[in-house]
Amino acid sequence: MRAFLFVLCMFVPPIAAAVEAGGAMPQVSPPQLADSKPLAFASLRGNVVYVDFWASWCVPCRQSMPALDSLYRKYEAQGLRVVGVNKDVAKADAERFLQRVPVSFPLVADPNDAVARAFDVQAMPSGYLVDRKGVVRHVHRGFTAGTAATLNSEIESLLKDGS
């Protein structure tokens, strides 16, 4: 029986575990939406980071993107970094969305779903708040009016922590 289970495990691909609070932020380097240069998530260590998965077809993203941009501008000088991971198939769809809802934080593309798989994204939008050591501290799935206030409080706490 053990031999059978061993062989089965060899040929069955592992199931990705969802990135949850307490887990490490995946170390990926997706291309930036604007210029296709890679943005290494490892380079963000030492900052408080919010990784947000969004798409032009995501209705709550119309509310979340301006709220995240406001938080980014408010706390950038204190060490907050926001990275928007776009899930659109066509770059033109993302560009049209950004003409209506512009943001100032970096945006990356995820054309092969590698970043979404690394985070095991289960809803849109999904956001991962990461501390300065690279540990995911909070996960947000969906976005409501109350999410921005909660996120503001969580960011303030992590920025004050300093570790």
Per-residue pLDDT tens over the stretch 93-143: 999 999 999 999 999 999 889 999 999 999 999 999 999 999 999 999 999
pLDDT for residue 145 = 85
Integer Cα distance of 15 and 76 in angstroms: 36
pLDDT for residue 51 = 98
pLDDT for residue 18 = 60
Q: Hey, what are 144's tokens?
A: 């409501």
pLDDT for residue 1 = 43
The 10s digit of each residue's pLDDT in 14-24 is: 334 567 777 89
Q: What pTM, to 2 d.p., does this model score?
A: 0.87
Q: Which CATH superfamily is domain 24-161 in?
A: Glutaredoxin (3.40.30.10)
Report the run of H or E that residue 152 belongs to, with start and end: helix 145-161
